[in-house]
Amino acid sequence: MAFRSNQPVSLVFPPFRGVTRRIILLALVEFLGAALLTLVSRSSVDLLLSLFRLQPSQTLSGMVWQLATYPFVGDGLFSLAFALLTLWFFASALEDDRGSRWLSEYFLVATVAGGALAVLLSLSGARIPGLGPYVVTQGMWPAVLAIMVAYGMLYAEQQVQFNFLFSLKAKYLAAIYVLFYLALALVGGDRFGALTALCNAAAGYGYLKLAPRRGLRAGFSERWFTLRNAYYRAKRRRAARKFTVYMRKQGKDVSLDEEGRYIDPDGKPRDPTDRRWMN
């Protein structure tokens, strides 16, 4: 696919690889495994899946893993198929541009932070029909909405073409998805599911606005290595000052630069690639 161009992007099957492939395969394995186990014992499958769906009361009671597992609990064959196809089209584009690490981090942050926010809002609005401590949601659509928001923000003017019938800018496509879930949350139906999707979108939006371009992990690593290198430079300068004082007591003058590196007494310029002058 080509991005940031004036040419429409057709929804053809992109390469099936990377983090996008792992997310899709994990969701399919869970769905097929649950379908097979249903043939043995439906009640056992329901009990098992209830441990991984998102339910506010269970999450607050210690089942915090639900914040990461609820997207991978299938909510029906056709819903899952359409969600995974949408994820495939748009997540693979983000992964090609931003990288696998960025996509995995974005998916995790949007899912966990969005789920946590939905749990808190559901508990605070317990008197609203469809919300409360015992409502349940599951499925990939909240994460898909977060992916759509990211695509709409990063490629706002990109035309997305649907089977050569019509095309729509990415920002408008993302807005349609958001408005659909907003209407669902206001009108009713699966209100907690719609709220979770909107919270995923909000978490994804906040991530794109606040996190470094390469992601939180890369930004943290850069900050850590910057602080570590500053510490070692300060330590080297301090050792250099002590060495200079010691050598003067021995009747010898030693010249060091601002970084604490030795200066050739002959005054010859140093070759920066000469490892003999590195310390």
Distance in angstroms (rounded) separating the CA atoms of residues 257 and 236: 11
Rg (Cα) of the chain, in Å, rounded?
27
Instruction: Scan for tokens 């002590």, then name that residue.
Output: 242
- Residue-range domain boundaries for the chain: 9-211, 219-277
Residue 275 host element (H or E): none
User: What's the distance, CA 87 to chain centroid?
Assistant: 14
155 within 8 A of 4, measured Cβ to Cβ: yes
- Coil, helix or strand for 161? strand
**pLDDT tens per residue across all 279 residues of the chain:** 444 455 555 556 788 899 999 999 999 999 999 889 888 888 888 888 899 999 999 999 999 999 999 999 988 889 999 999 999 999 999 999 999 999 999 999 999 999 999 999 999 876 788 888 999 999 999 999 999 999 999 998 888 876 666 788 999 999 999 999 999 988 877 899 999 999 999 999 999 998 877 666 665 565 655 666 667 677 777 776 676 666 667 666 666 666 656 665 655 545 555 555 444
Residue 10 host element (H or E): strand 9-10
Distance in angstroms (rounded) separating the CA atoms of residues 99 and 102: 5
The CATH number fitting domain 9-211, selected from 2.40.50.100, 1.20.1540.10, 1.10.12.10, 3.90.550.10: 1.20.1540.10
Count how many residues are written for the chain: 279
pTM of the shown model: 0.75
Residue 156 neighbours by CB distance under 10 Å: 12
Distance in angstroms (rounded) separating the CA atoms of residues 87 and 104: 13
Residue 99 neighbours by CB distance under 10 Å: 16
